[in-house]
A and B are shown apart, each in its own frame.
Chain A
Amino acid sequence: NAGVTQTPKFQVLKTGQSMTLQCAQDMNHEYMSWYRQDPGMGLRLIHYSVGAGITDQGEVPNGYNVSRSTTEDFPLRLLSAAPSQTSVYFCASSPTGRGANVLTFGAGSRLTVL
């Protein structure tokens, strides 16, 4: 049981480049989300999804797109990378119902934009 898998673990981009951070979970969780973590800023919600075909914006959505075509996958797309997007990105998931308040996190993806 792999849990939440994020790829890549590390990435360096140049300003203006685009890329996709992958997130997959094998726990049949309905809820999936992306957070970014910057020093002293805690975890800020970028986008989230409550099921396949449903996505919504979080606290800091600008510059990012998401889609949820399957229950398992929730990729995060950076459309035109900027140095302000240098951060550690975490994908997290939870079931609905009784366990909805327990997030399982991936190991993180460290992104540097030059």
Chain B
Amino acid sequence: DTAVSQTPKYLVTQMGNDKSIKCEQNLGHDTMYWYKQDSKKFLKIMFSYNNKELIINETVPNRFSPKSPDKAHLNLHINSLELGDSAVYFCASSQEGGSKNIQYFGAGTRLSVL
């Protein structure tokens, strides 16, 4: 079984659309994260949730809204997609939110906005 799974793997859409990316972890972890990897492979954290509570919210446009229905899921909803949103989005999870804890990453969702 995949520890951290993201769907879809690829997402191609038009500017202005609204889309969601789903993430699920079966590791029993309390903390989940969303990262964005841009075209230059630079990885930057976007959000982090611990037990369904938002604990990290970096400077991200409010078109991006994370939703955590339970601690095993952290979905990312994006409104009014723009060309600059094209990137690979990675979900990750860790046992706790502390810095010592290893983060386990999903395989990524490649978003292309046309």
Q: Do A and B come from one complex?
A: no
Please list the residues of chain A having a beta carbon within 8 angstroms of any beta carbon in chain B. Answer: none
Please list the residues of chain B having a beta carbon within 8 angstroms of any beta carbon in chain A. Answer: none
